[in-house]
Amino acid sequence: MSPKGRPEGESDPKRVSAEGRPASDSPIDLATFRALEETAGAEFVAELVDTFLAEAPLMLSEMRSARAAGDAERFRRAAHSLKSNCNTFGALALGAQARELERKGLDADPARDASAIDAIEAGCGRAAVALKGLRRG
């Protein structure tokens, strides 16, 4: 038996992601997501999730476009929007990645920005899967 009285190897049900993985592997902080549901209601959060799933690719596209145009302000605004949305749903690591791009702005090396945006895009894909599994309503 584990110290918490569960059979060895059995996960704490509060610490399991939507995909059944331990919550530490989840791209979504479940406490943040559940607090949002408690505050706003599960149906409204489901609508917000759907909006985020539709808009995140547009924010990423805006970041790429701004990077290509060398438009630092537009790049920062798109990174800020993505950061705020990610943090709202508990995609805290993803929000931190977007915050870093917002903070530093355009890199002198466009390839570094492209790589960072690619990493955020991959994270958005993982977050989307988790959010689809978590939404109710």
What pLDDT, in 10s, does the model give residues 95-124?
A: 999 999 999 999 999 999 999 999 999 999
Q: Token pair for residue 115?
A: 């790589």
> Both tokens of residue 95?
């929000």
Domain membership flag for residue 15: no
- Residues of the domain holding 101: 29-134
| CATH number assigned to the domain comprising residue 61 | 1.20.120
- Position 106 in a domain: yes
Look at residue 24 and tell me if it is in a domain: no
Q: What is the pLDDT of residue 34?
A: 96
Asked if 98 and 79 touch (Cβ cutoff 8 Å), the reply is yes
Check residue 25 and give its pLDDT: 80
**Which of 83, 119, 116, 111 lies closest to 98 in space, CA to CA?**
83
Residues with Cβ within 8 Å of 137's Cβ and at least 6 positions away in sequence, in order, are: 41, 42, 43, 44, 45, 46, 47
Domain assignment present for residue 72? The answer is: yes
- The larger pLDDT score, comparing residue 121 to residue 9, is at 121
The pLDDT score that the predictor gives to residue 1 is 41
55 contact partners, CB below 8 Å, separation of at least 6: 85
What tokens does 35 get?
Answer: 């607090």
Domain tally for the chain?
A: 1
pLDDT bracket for residue 136 (50, 70, 90): confident
Residue 70, in any domain of the structure: yes
Per-residue pLDDT tens digits for 36-95: 999 999 999 999 999 999 999 999 999 999 999 999 999 999 999 999 999 999 999 999
Largest CA distance in the chain: 59
What pLDDT, on a 0 to 100 scale, did the predictor assign at position 119? 97
Cβ neighbours of 105 (radius 10 Å)? 12
Close Cβ partners of 68 (under 8 Å, ≥ 6 residues apart): 110
> In which band, very low, low, confident or very high, does the pLDDT at 137 lie, cut at 50, 70 and 90?
low
Residue 111 is encoded by which pair of tokens? 């390839």
